[in-house]
Amino acid sequence: MRDTVDFSPARTNKPVTGPQAATQGELSSKQQPKLRPEQIARAFLTPRPPRQRQALVLESGETLRVNTPEGEIAIQRTGTGPAVLLLHGWEGQAADMASFVTPLLAAGFSVLVMDLPAHGASAGQQSSIPQSARALLAVGEALGPLHGVIAHSVGSAVLGEALYAGLAAERAVFVAAPARYEDYARGFAAAAGLDAAGTTTMLTILHDLIGVDVSEISLPQRAPHLRQPALFIHSDDDRVVAITDSIATAAAWPGAQHLRVEGLGHKRLLTDEAVITAATGFMSL
């Protein structure tokens, strides 16, 4: 799944402006041979670097490297007090979560900011939601227990999988959380030009590559088994992850809260004062 592209099945007939664009160019404008399902599966797992790299500089912070089953993971840490971990989305970067740092420190928390596998200073070239969840689980074991986690987009799906696997975190905030990994994998396949048979082949290849059936990676399916207090925040005009995704998960999560905001798209939420206040306040309850 790509944070910078709308992969929802209802929209795959629209022009693609993100990671798929290169694939579609190879299929059409360059008149090259059609890509095979294996190539498309690997592209689905390969994040591109951000168009604009931004360094996250934490005052009085330190950089840590944690060994995980998915390679070394880069963590920045600052402050004292109960730990809140910030987790960016696919093809994102630690700096995306910068606006949460100062309010959390002021509220008495220490802050950990993690680079997903194959992102930023973390190891790897390819990754997926279940692989990133294994990395997050290892980070939690090494640096936890965590008071809470605030995650964006695919980071939210990673958080859900890690909590389901036993991540020790008391509270969770999900910003623009997607629901079902399979929907986005199928949308990616369709945008790359695969027919039904090719898509089935691609999904089988994904299973072989990541060791999990993508249909099992579903926040609404995981939610009934989770008991942490959870807050979902989503903008009604999000064109990357439809707000109905987080509504479905919040409805399935016992006691979860859902905050609907307007006009903030997919990433502007991360710098919105009201969103940051809501997330920080939820951590402080």
Supply the mean pLDDT for the chain: 89
Output the CA–CA distances (angstroms, integers) from residue 278 to 2, 65, 169, 193, in the order listed.
26, 30, 18, 41
Higher pLDDT, 144 or 110: 110
pLDDT in tens, 32-74: 458 899 999 999 999 999 888 888 888 889 999 999 999 999 9
Q: How many domains does the structure of the chain reveal?
A: 1
Residue closest to 230 by CA, chosen among 159, 137, 180, 142: 159
In a domain, 142, yes or no: yes
Residue 31: per-residue pLDDT? 36
Partners of residue 257 on adjacent β-strands: 231
Lowest-confidence pick of 12-21, 27-36, 241-250, 261-270: 12-21
- 178-202 pLDDT per residue, tens: 999 999 999 999 999 999 999 999 9
The verdict on residue 53 lying in a domain is no
Q: Is residue 26 part of a domain?
A: yes
Q: 202, 189 in Cβ contact below 8 A?
A: yes
Backbone angles phi, psi at 145, to 5 degrees: -70, 155
Angle, helix 154-164 to helix 129-143, in steps of 10 degrees:
60
Per-residue confidence at 21, pLDDT binned at 50, 70, 90? Answer: very low
Q: Does a structural domain hold residue 93?
A: yes
Residues of the domain holding 259: 9-46+60-284
Average pLDDT of 261-282?
97
The two structure tokens encoding residue 35: 């890509």
Asked whether residue 51 is assigned to any structural domain, the reply reads no
For residue 208, is it within any domain? Answer: yes
CATH of the domain at 174: 3.40.50.1820
Confirm whether 87 is domain-assigned: yes
Which is more confident, 13 or 122?
Answer: 122
* Host H or E run for residue 71: strand 71-78
Strands (E), 120-270: 146-152, 169-175, 230-235, 257-261
Domain-embedded: residue 19: yes
